[in-house]
Structures are given as structure tokens and as C-alpha cells.
Structure 1
């Protein structure tokens, strides 16, 4: 950064140190550095570069501490400061905004932002930053339902981390992401192997925060195989320690729905809906509303109205696996009610969505 004001040099150095600790997923040291920076940050109003640097890392710090507290509005403070001209800050701007778009379910926007950030990444010689970028890009690809691509990207990150000391925690996160991706590919034994390996690393390092990610994904793994009681055992611990985790609430509610624990499922759904409303999270709002409709056993025509609202969002973001699944659920509902014409219509539509999902998986 080309910042010459002597009084800000210490802040700039501390912000750089903070980002290095964030990259290492070192929550304790990141928290300590953030507190120290906050004490000394007064008096930077006359330097827009330092203001923006601080705002960007404040967002990135929040993402580290509690990514599921990120709302649709969490990037507004940064946007109000304008786009940076400094090359490093410009990279951070596009990279962090891509992360924001991913966590808030704006995947088309996230793709464009990641592409712009990757161009700027090429100008940076820091190998560990390349690992950080490709790890996050892999997370995006997994959400975007391009699983083979996600495996390729996380492998790039893990290969770099393995060459450096003190990045065992990051390698654990890579294994956790391998496991999640393998679940989507229905490679369940391999997924369990990776997730347990990651959990072992996190336990050995005393990283309880990281352990929750593996427990969450193990619950998703067991739920994907309809081992609902086992899934609930893992996910309930996550919800106990992270009560505003709307993704974990969704998983636990879905497994209780499968077990016909209607009241428990409804309580979890309502809590998650409240959280998603506050965060303005459109993706999980629709997922939860569809699950609620199924739990409430709505008539097919009422269920259809809820599903179609969700499909409008999923289609916009090109999440064809979700469309396939929900159209099939709707087809089954109409079939159960004896409306074979409507059932046939949605079974066919579901098959077309499946074709789109396969085509999407093949894109690089």
C-alpha cells in the first residue's frame, strides 16, 4: 500500500498481521489483534485507504468468527467507501465481496466477483494468499454444485498449505471440504473418512470452533443416507453451541421431519426463518418454507405455490439440483392426491432439471 502518513504506519502493520492470523484461522490471536487495532484506530478519518483497509478486514474478521452472522447488508459499510485504486485493496475488495455474495446466496454475482479477484491475484506473489483464494473458490464451487471442480480447487490449496509450517489447521479445513464435496457426489464412505480425519485434526489442535464444521458435515452425511437419529446426535451439538446457525437448524429440522417429529421440526424451522429474515437470506428462506410446507402437509396446490416461489430463486442462481429435488417432491405430492396429470408434468420437469444439473457439473 502506498500510504505515507507516519501515524498510520503502525495501524497498517497491525492490519497486515491481523489478516495473516485470519488466514491461519487463528481465532484467539485474531481477536486479540482486532481489540488492539480498535483501540488505536482513532484518527484515521483523513486517510481513505486505511479506512477501507480496516473496513475490509473488519468484514473478513466477522466472517472468521461467525460467517453465518453475515447478512445481505454486511458489505454496505465497505461499499460506502467506494472501490479502491490500490492493487492489494482492490483484490481484497473483489475477493471478500465474492465471499459475501456466496454466503448470502447470490451465486451469479459471486462468480463474476471471483473471476475479477482471480485476475488481481495473479499480481500477488504471496503463495499462501493463492491457497486462501482457491480454498474459498472451492467452497463457492461446491455451493454452485460443481463438485469435481471444487475438488480440484481445494487440492490446489491443500498442496500449498502442506509446504508451510503452522498450517495444519488449514489442511484440516481442506479435508473437511473434501468430505462435504464427496457427500454431494454420493461417495459416502470417502466423505466419512475425510470428515473424521478433519475432526481428529481439529480435536488434537484444541479447535472447538473448527470441530463444529466437521460435526455439521457429518450430520449432513448421515442425513443424506437417512440415518436421521445419528444425524440429529451430531447436529444438535452444533445447534447447542451455535444457536443461530440457520444451516444447522435446517438440517436438524429436516431430520426430525423425516422421523415425523412434527412439533420439534416446526420449532426449529420457525427459529431458522426468524434468523434468515433478519439476515435477509433468500436461499435458506425458500429452503425452510418448502420444508415447513412439507412438515405441515399442505395440499398439493398450496405446496406448489411455495415451491414455485423457491424455484424462481433457484433458477435465477442456476441451482438446478435444488429445482430437481423440489419438483420431484411436488410431483409425488400430486401423485399421492391422484392428480396424475400434474404429477407427470412435474416428474418430467424434474428430469429436465436433472439434465441441467449434469451439464452444470460438467462446466469448468
Structure 2
């Protein structure tokens, strides 16, 4: 329990490698835990941290074990919903978005059956938008982001920040600067209200790339804050967006530079699986 709770704390502050180290130590003692639900909670936490570290198949292994236990107990619907979130996120990372959408629809069905107004509803709608967005289906994605914002306003969910951020990014990438600036401002306002340093860092990258001069150095200065275990997956995504931005602007030297930065971030993420104790 000491290692398990330490891992939970490390995860909550974005120290994913330390969280994995603690969870792996706790796992060695797991045979002594007799309660099936407690085991499911452990498996879910393992799935969650490996999902954030982009160790997709490892995450799927653990979340399947958690889900198999929770689905035997009708009173654990919320836990099943959270499992669907992780499964869907992993399928999105594997580029099998149809399977991700299937699990998000199951999560929304469970939430609707409970008439739940918790932050989970906003998160479910946000994840639906993300899946459609990654499929390139903006016509389907954008309404879900707006539904997520509406649900987040009701529940006070912090997911409202990401919904505004994603809408800002969508409009900026479509060269719709007025709309992009509008959602950017709302996202920054929410990030400050929730004291969300991660999204403040992400928004600073968008500001350097799409609002200010778009100079390579300014974008790199903004990206530097994301060179962390928590930040590297976002670094990878934004480096690719920067590369595409400079390609469209016919600044090929800058584009190649950010493609290389994206590859370096991918390597750093892949290394993460080997940094914990065996």
C-alpha cells in the first residue's frame, strides 16, 4: 500500500517514471492482496500511467484485467467508464479510431443511464471529439467539443480548458485566425482559473506559433517547458504541428528542424519504458 499510494501521488504531479517505479514495487506484493476490487484498482492505475507514457500495449494488458473484474460488479459502473476511457485512448494511439469510438459510446451510454452530471460526462464528450478529430472528421468533432464545454460548465470540470484549446488549435490549423484567437483566449482564461500549468505551457506554444511572429526560436523556447515525462507526448504532437505549419509557409529548413525535434521526442517517450527498476 505504501508503494501503491506513493505511485498515485507521483502520477498526480506528472512524475510518471517515478509512479511506474513505485507501482512495479507494489506489484511484487500483489499476490498478498485478496480483495478482487483492490486488485482491479491497481491494474487500472498501471494502465493509466502506461497510457500516459504511450506504452500502449502494456496499458491495454492492465486495463483489460481491471475491466474484467469491474464488469462482474454492477455497482462499479464509474470504474467501467474510466476503463473505457483508457481503452479508447489506447485505440486512438494505435490509429484504430473506430474501436476507440465504440468504447466512448459505451461510456456515454453508461453515463446517460446514470443521469450523471459529474465531470466524467464532459470528459466523455471531449474524448469523442478527440477521436473524430484524429480521424480528420472535423464536422463530427467540433460539435462534441461544444457539448463538452456545455457539460463542463454545469459540472465545473477542468476538461473545459482542453475543449477550448482543441477548438483553438483546429481553427488555427485551418487558418481561421479570428476564431482561433477567440478560443485561445477562453482556453488561457480557464487554464489560469484552474492553475493548470501544463495547458498554460501548451497555449504558450500556440501563441508563439500562430499569434506571434512564428519564429523558430520563439516556438522552441515555448516547447522547452514540455521536455518532461508528462510533457513529451505533447511536445511530439506540437513539434509535428509546427513542422506542418512551416511546410505550408514554404519555410522548409524550419519544417525539417521541427520534424527532427518530433523524432527526438518520440525516442524519449520510447525510452521511458526502460527507466524503471526491474
- 1:4 maps to none
TM-score after normalising by structure 1: 0.63
Q: Which residue, out of 186, 191, 195, partners 1:271? A: 186
CA distance in 1, matches of 2:30, 2:6: 10
- 1:217 maps to 127
Q: Which residue, out of 128, 136, 139, partners 1:226? A: 136
CA distance in 1, matches of 2:142, 2:206: 16
Q: Is structure 2 residue 209 aligned with structure 1 residue 299?
A: no
Query: Any idea what SS the aligned residue of 1:242 has?
Result: helix
Larger relative contact order (Cα-Cα within 8 Å, sequence gap ≥ 6): 2
Superposed counterparts of 1:198-213, under 5 Å: 198-209=107-118, 210-213=120-123
Quote the offset at 1:186 in angstroms: 0.8
- 1:174 maps to 83
Q: Is structure 2 residue 276 aligned with structure 1 residue 350?
A: no
CA distance in 2, matches of 1:274, 1:337: 30
CA distance in 2, matches of 1:226, 1:292: 23
The farther-off stretch of 238-247 and 145-154 is: 238-247
Matched pairs, number: 270
- 1:250 maps to 165
- 2:227 maps to 315
- 2:148 maps to 238
Q: Per-residue CA shift, 1:33-78, capped at 9, x if unaligned?
A: xxxxxxxxxxxxxxxxxxxxxxxxxxxxxxxxxxxxxxxxxxxxxx
Distance 1:335 1:136, change over 3 A: same
- 2:64 maps to 155
Quote the offset at 1:169 in angstroms: 3.5
> Is the 8 Å Cα contact of residues 209 and 242 (structure 2) preserved in structure 1?
no
CA distance in 2, matches of 1:170, 1:335: 43
Q: Per-residue CA shift, 1:85-115, capped at 9, x if unaligned?
A: xxx5x467424413422xxx34334334434
CA distance in 2, matches of 1:253, 1:199: 25
- 1:53 maps to none
Unaligned runs of 5+ in 2: none
Q: Per-residue CA shift, 1:162-204, capped at 9, x if unaligned?
A: 3334223422332232112211211011111111122112212
Distance 1:334 1:165, change over 3 A: closer
> Is the 8 Å Cα contact of residues 158 and 174 (structure 1) preserved in structure 2?
yes
CA distance in 2, matches of 1:281, 1:121: 34
Distance 1:327 1:259, change over 3 A: closer
- 2:55 maps to 146
Superposed counterparts of 1:17-96, under 5 Å: 90=2, 93-96=5-8
Give RMSD over aligned pairs.
3.1
CA distance in 2, matches of 1:155, 1:304: 44
Distance 1:339 1:183, change over 3 A: closer
Distance 1:346 1:139, change over 3 A: same
Quote the offset at 1:258 in angstroms: 3.7
Quote the offset at 1:361 in angstroms: 7.1
Quote the offset at 1:322 in angstroms: 3.3
Q: Which residue, out of 125, 141, 148, partners 2:34? A: 125
Quote the offset at 1:227 in angstroms: 2.0
Q: Is structure 2 residue 199 aligned with structure 1 residue 284?
A: yes
> Is the 8 Å Cα contact of residues 300 and 333 (structure 1) preserved in structure 2?
no
The structure with the larger Rg is 1
Distance 1:108 1:304, change over 3 A: farther
